[in-house]
Amino acid sequence: MIFNIQKEKNRSNTNRDWKEKNQKYLNQLQKFLDAVDRIEEVELKNHIINQMLKCDLILTQLAEKEIEKYKKYQ
């Protein structure tokens, strides 16, 4: 895969258990991957997965920033 999510994940010092152990998140991710798995064109399939992972990473980073802000005021 072109977009290396593990590399990005290792750059973050924030614990992402809040997301990666969330059953609703994991269920929706599995549904997405199941749907994409039905796409026969490999290049299109990879493009869609990469774009979703980029969006997920951005949302995760935004959420982590908000979590850090919240922790500072506690």
Q: Where along the chain do its domains lie?
A: 5-72
Contacts 24+ apart (CB under 8 A), 30-39: none
Distance of CA 20 to the CA centre of its chain: 9
Q: What is the largest CA-CA distance in the chain?
A: 50
Average pLDDT of the residues of the chain: 85
| Span 16-52, pLDDT tens digits | 888 889 999 999 999 999 999 999 999 999 999 999 9
Q: Please state, in angstroms and rounded to a whole number, the distance separating the CA atoms of residues 36 and 22.
A: 21
CA distance 63 to 69: 10
C-alpha gyration radius of the chain = 14
